[in-house]
Amino acid sequence: MSTTKTKWTVNLKVYRKKGQKAPYYDQFTMEVDPDEYVLDAIERIWAFHDRSLTFRHACHHSTCGACGMLVNGVEKLTCITYIRDVVEDGGTIVIDPLRNFPIISDLVVDMSLFFDRMEMVGQRQVIPIAEEIVGSSQKAQSAGNGKEYLRLSDCIECGMCISACPIAATNPDYLGPAVLAGAQQSGLDKKPELLQIVDQENGLWRCHSAYECTAVCPSNVDPAWRIMDLRRQVTSQRFKRLFR
């Protein structure tokens, strides 16, 4: 935000990588408004300091999920992260690309495998409102004209949960929090074929309960809860089978 208030001077230490060359950090000293977002500062680096900087961004208000990065080592959706929340006047903000994804260039990571998995579990971006509320038994809301209200789902596929997950760090075959959460929301009852995708070594049993996915999720998806709920469903299915 542009104001006449006190400006801060901060250093942005930005991860850089081009092609096959070795990665390094670039430092930019900038005047910022503490009430600006981190993404604003990054965009200004590109606009006024270094046109070669690459980063992903689109909506600038947390609906698209493109601008997830590491800010001082923690996954943040940079479009809604205030500068005042991550640094003090005169301090340094370190910006890195998300972890556990291949790096394409600078802050841009390759999300194709992640999107492939999201499609595989049938994660729906548009869903009935009642289905979006975690742990709720709320009845479907009618739109009054015989139709049910729909909404875009909470999961914006930013990949931050994958980046924060200690298991995804050492096992690239682990499906990962957002994918398992997507499967949970798709529902084993509605899509029984999901069972063999999630009920396997690198599926929901690989999670080791660090709960970082839920800690960094910018969008109330609560992937950890959804993974545990999926476990509960699968366990109870197996249990029932024992007595049949």
Partner 1 sequence: MSKPKVIIIGAGFTGVATAHDLALRGFDVTVVDRGPIANGTSGRTHGLLHSGGRYAVNDKESAIECIEENTIPGVIEPNGGLFVAINESDMAYGEDFIEGCEACHIPIEELKPQQALKLEPNLNPNVLVAFRVPDGTFDPLRLAMSFAATAKSNGAKFKLFTEVTGLILNGQGNVTGIKVWDRTNDERYELYGDVVVNATGAWVGEITAMAGVDVPIRPTPGVMVAFDQRLTNHAINRLNKPGDGDIVLPQRQMVVVGTTSFEVQDLDYVPVIEDHVKLMLERGAELLPTIRNTNMRGAYMATRPLLGSGGSGRSISRTFKCFDHKETHGIDGLVTITGGKATTLRAMAEKTADVVCEKLNISAACTTKEVPLISYREFYRLPNDD
Partner 2 sequence: MSEHADKSGISQAFRWFDPRGRDVGTIAFILNRITALGLTFYLFLHLIVLGQLAKGAEAYDGFLATIRSPIFVFGELLVVAAGLYHGLNGIRVGLTSFGIAVPQQKKLFYWLLAIAVLGSLIFGIRMFTA
- Which residue ranges make up the site for partner 1 (CB under 8 A)? 1-3, 18-19, 35, 37, 40, 43-44, 46-48, 51-54, 56-66, 79-80, 104-105, 108, 111-112, 115-116, 118-119, 125-126, 129, 141, 143-145, 149-154, 156, 219-220
* By the rule CB under 8 A, 224 interacts with partner 2: yes
Among 104, 120, 130, 150, binds partner 2 (CB under 8 A): 104
User: What tokens were used for 12?
Assistant: 């942005």
Q: Are the beta carbons of 10 and 87 closer than 8 angstroms? A: yes
Residue 127 near which of partner 1, partner 2, none (CB within 5-8 Å, type-dependent): none
Nearer to partner 2, 186 or 233 (CB): 233
Nearer to partner 2, 5 or 208 (CB): 208
Q: Name the strand (E) or helix (H) holding 197.
A: helix 194-198
Round the CA-based radius of gyration of the chain to a whole number and report it. Answer: 20
* Distance in Å from the first CA to the final CA of the chain: 63
Q: How far is the CB of 230 from partner 2 (least distance, A)?
A: 9
DSSP tag of 200: S
Q: Are the beta carbons of 45 and 30 closer than 8 angstroms? A: yes
Q: Are the beta carbons of 92 and 71 closer than 8 angstroms? A: no
Residue 170 near which of partner 2, partner 1, none (CB within 5-8 Å, type-dependent): partner 2
